[in-house]
Structure 1
């Protein structure tokens, strides 16, 4: 490799690591490239809300010598992946100035892998939205079209990766918060199985087990390698995903027998799928079948309305806990001056629920796993759109209204294809296979049985080789 072969803003994380190992650039130079790209692009997108220059220098001074991603820059979302000694606001006005006391377990694994965290990304308050338009920092804009939502809750991370600031960034997914921004920005986004990656040491679970931790990437191999580097139980886990047969990275090069893939093209909540999304799904089916797979229409057996209502209750309950905890820790009242009005109202609803109502909601959510298990007895994977619509206009998901029921109706409708995987705890991915007529990315979702991330990654590797998406560049890029 020579310096002429290497372009930081188009390289994936593996490519940056290879360039460092080959002496094309040093870890310090790789981090400098990241800060330069942030400086060039971030003013137009508002994706990065905190640069961690001092922390990055400290990391560079103690990089593990043989680490597989030595010197590769990345970004953290400004919530539960805490980084000791650095501010973490949860996207909340009440928490400005809060400083994390300990590293999240996954951050410790990032450090061991040689990654250098260079900053924090924008997010909705407490990650409770599938758009990234908080009052605290303002909206993150989509590099493909600044009038369209970047998605959420990992929207800042998605915009930063899609525009070339960093090759990868942390995301978490409680109802689609990796897959939806990946779909909206043309990235690859994998939600792992429940228990695949750690969520401690502070939490034993997030949103009652709905939330999983991983990354948004431009390449499949980056996502697979990051899963290899971060998966496995931490001390005292509440859930542990099955041990894989081999490295996830090797799965993307693996041959694959023809798969029987179940196609879900209708929503479980009665709304119609946008015509452009439906057409994109048809094109994606043709691509999948061209690789030798067989796609058959199926209907999922879970009750979509009952699941949505159960999720509404769980999200409200955890919102109440988070609002109360932040208010108690900071001394600020839980009112509209310090929190998003919709979250204040949603928290009030959460507090009104009885213990038996919450437990029944959790039982309903957990029952989704058995519904999917019955489907996977008939098919190897399930395929659907990521969202029933194209990326929505800004302000569609209004957090400055107190109408929590309308907000959650919109939230649950837009995540109708994604949130069932969180309920079931199964792995799911958004693959950037399609584009709209107006030039907006459209992700296609694939779901696998519990613990079968390798099956997803093998298919994703085949799709990436035959229908490469890395040649596409958004309108705003580094």
Structure 2
């Protein structure tokens, strides 16, 4: 295969790595392809907010001799995964000029695998939104429809991967922030179990254990191999997910056998599932049954109203800490010239909570794991919508609103099917199985018991083989 014949923009990470190993292209050429793709689509999509061209050259010069993904370019979200010497804004105007002083453990593992970080992706301020429309950088746009939300908070990552800038990008997920943008852009997005991937050394946990770190990908096998490369226990971690004897990549190649899968299509939180999303879920369930699985109706066993309040309290408490820390570090006031108004409101509410309020919220969130254990006593997996709605018009989740309560209420409603997995610490994935009448992507969520990522990846790969999505491309692509 020649470089001319090799299509970087449609290749997954393992294909790029194989092309490099076969001499079809060099690591430098692969990185050049990524920067060329940024040049082509980023002026429209605004997905990448920091290009790391000099740092990429430094990484290329220091590449390990071997590595499963040696020379493959990728992107980091501009928040948790600090890259020493690179700017980190958290999507916040107050943090302009902030520079990271050490590598996140995830970044260290990326380097060891031979990956090359070529830039940082757009995100809402402090990742506190399920849309990506920050005041600092402006909105990241959805390559499938420029008028629709790309999702959040890993929205820039989703736009870049969907458009072919890089084969995968880092994302994190505190209430659906990998799964929602994956659903909105036709990608595969897995949220691992709590404790599966590292969150240090800067922090011991994020949002009280709600947040997990992984990637958004175009193929299931890329997600699997990245979990293999990043899931080793981190020294000092508060949580450790169960050890998996077989590699996750091997699990993705193994047929899962007939499963009993519970179907959830409603919540006791007062929000209706849009007709096109419901129809997509029904079609997906029918497809699942053609694979030999049994789909049966089930319900979430937790109190969705109480859980939404608990998650709100936890987010507010941690937002208060983040706002205070950034304001202190950057010597700036807490006002709407430096922070989004909804985050100022959330921070004020977070400060009003007492220690017992926060502990009670953590207890309510953690109890969700027991509720799911009851559900999984009768089924192997649960499937549901990712969100109850199609990708929403830009501006739906407005961080510049003075009404933070309405804002966070809308976020909790739109993440009603995703944030329970964060509270319970269980793995969940968005699989790009469906599309709307006018071609917008619709992801279907699957949830598994704690530690059962291997089962999710096996099912996802089975779906991918039978109902492939790789041929679908958005209107804006590299």
For 2:108, the equivalent position in structure 1 comes to 108
5+ residue gaps, structure 1, are none
For 1:145, the equivalent position in structure 2 comes to 145
Instruction: Give the superposition deviation at 1:50.
Output: 0.5
263-272 or 384-393: bigger deviation: 263-272
For 1:339, the equivalent position in structure 2 comes to 339
For 2:59, the equivalent position in structure 1 comes to 59
Instruction: Give the secondary structure class of the aligned counterpart of 1:147.
Output: strand
Q: Does 1:390 align with 2:390?
A: yes
- 2:45–2:141: 8 Å Cα contact kept in structure 1? yes
For 1:49, the equivalent position in structure 2 comes to 49
Instruction: Give the superposition deviation at 1:439.
Output: 1.2
Instruction: Give the secondary structure class of the aligned counterpart of 1:3.
Output: coil
Deviations 1:133-159 (A, max 9, x none): 000000000000000000000000000
- 2:267–2:300: 8 Å Cα contact kept in structure 1? no
1:34-433 equivalence runs, <5 A:
34-433=34-433
For 1:439, the equivalent position in structure 2 comes to 439
Deviations 1:366-400 (A, max 9, x none): 00000001111110000000000000000101100
Aligned residues: 478
- 2:255–2:459: 8 Å Cα contact kept in structure 1? no
Q: Matches of 2:120 and 2:178 in 1, distance apart? A: 16
TM-score computed with the length of structure 2 as normaliser: 0.99
Deviations 1:56-99 (A, max 9, x none): 00000011111010000000000010000000000000000000
- 1:188–1:217: 8 Å Cα contact kept in structure 2? yes
For 1:8, the equivalent position in structure 2 comes to 8
- 1:152–1:181: 8 Å Cα contact kept in structure 2? yes
TM-score computed with the length of structure 1 as normaliser: 0.99
Q: Structure 1: which 4+ aligned runs deviate by more than 3 Å?
A: 1-5
Instruction: Give the secondary structure class of the aligned counterpart of 2:10.
Output: coil
Q: Matches of 2:130 and 2:40 in 1, distance apart? A: 26
Q: Does 1:27 align with 2:24?
A: no
Q: Matches of 1:11 and 1:31 in 2, distance apart? A: 14
Q: Matches of 2:22 and 2:254 in 1, distance apart? A: 27
Instruction: Give the superposition deviation at 1:268.
Output: 3.0
Instruction: Give the superposition deviation at 1:5.
Output: 4.3
Instruction: Give the secondary structure class of the aligned counterpart of 2:261.
Output: strand
Deviations 1:386-425 (A, max 9, x none): 0000000001011001211100110000000000000000
- 2:260–2:296: 8 Å Cα contact kept in structure 1? yes
5+ residue gaps, structure 2, are none
- 1:267–1:273: 8 Å Cα contact kept in structure 2? no
Deviations 1:169-208 (A, max 9, x none): 0000000000000000000000000000000001000000
